[in-house]
Amino acid sequence: MFTGIIEAVGKITSLDDLGQDIRLTVQSGKMDMSDVHLGDSIATNGVCLTVVEKGDNYYRADVSAETIKYTGFAHYQNGSRVNLEKAMRPDSRFGGHIVSGHVDGVGKVIGINEHTRYVEVWVKAPDELAKYIAHKGSITVDGVSLTVNEVKGASFMLWLIPHTLKETVIGDYKVGTSVNLEVDVIARYLERLMLGERAAQDNSEDISMSFLAEHGYLK
């Protein structure tokens, strides 16, 4: 489990073809690697990856074809900067929100507006994720725990302070940048719980407006 509080910005230094998968090498930047062991997890732009090799200032991880298909890794190349966070320790401070490192979809930056003390960033999420994105709710963007400040359909707006822009790859964003999105896991559990006994049925994921009305969620 992660919290979405970024520890360092790393850099991809190699992408080695292993057939259908790739072996990724990441320069770990200022992140302390002394307590990282083989088999540990590191969130890399929000994707939970397992360390298969490490050194004082780098680690390697295998990225499956499935992960490449459903995350921004399809667009990464040598030199790409990535947000890094080691898995949360049970005795550490919980500064963000619950982040699993399992990306739900890839969004796209559709607008950037600079203000005096913050930058306003608009992101278009895949339509199927819109129901999980709520005003003042939490969302993970490239591994960063952020608060949704406005929602319009499947698009949402973030206010980014200078510290966040400086300490994460969000400062590199341009209109058109693809970003990894992970919705709040609590929303997914609530959706499942609402199904009740229907959860065991083959089409149990389909929560329709009629289902919500039938069970008192709409008036």
Q: Which domains does the chain have, with CATH numbers?
A: 8-86 (2.40.30.20)
User: pLDDT tens string for the chain (219 positions)?
Assistant: 899 999 999 999 999 988 888 999 999 999 999 999 999 999 999 999 999 999 999 999 999 999 988 899 888 999 999 999 999 877 676 777 889 899 999 999 999 999 988 999 999 999 999 999 999 999 999 999 999 999 999 999 999 999 999 999 999 999 999 999 999 988 888 888 888 777 787 665 566 556 556 656 555
Please give the model's pTM, rounded to 2 decimal places. 0.88
Please give the sequence-ordered ranges of beta strands (E in DSSP) within the chain, or none if there are none. 8-17, 22-27, 41-44, 47-54, 58-63, 81-86, 105-114, 119-124, 138-141, 144-147, 150-152, 155-160, 178-183
Q: What is the model's pLDDT at position 129?
A: 95
Q: What is the per-residue pLDDT across 196-206, written as a single tens digit (0 to 9) for each?
A: 777 787 665 56
Q: What is the per-residue pLDDT across 80-92, written as a single tens digit (0 to 9) for each?
A: 999 999 998 776 7
Which residues make beta-bridge pairs with 81?
A: 11
Q: What is the model's pLDDT at position 211?
A: 59
In the chain, what is the greatest distance between 2 CA atoms, to the nearest angstrom?
Answer: 59
Q: What is the model's pLDDT at position 208?
A: 59
Report helix, strand or coil for 163.
helix
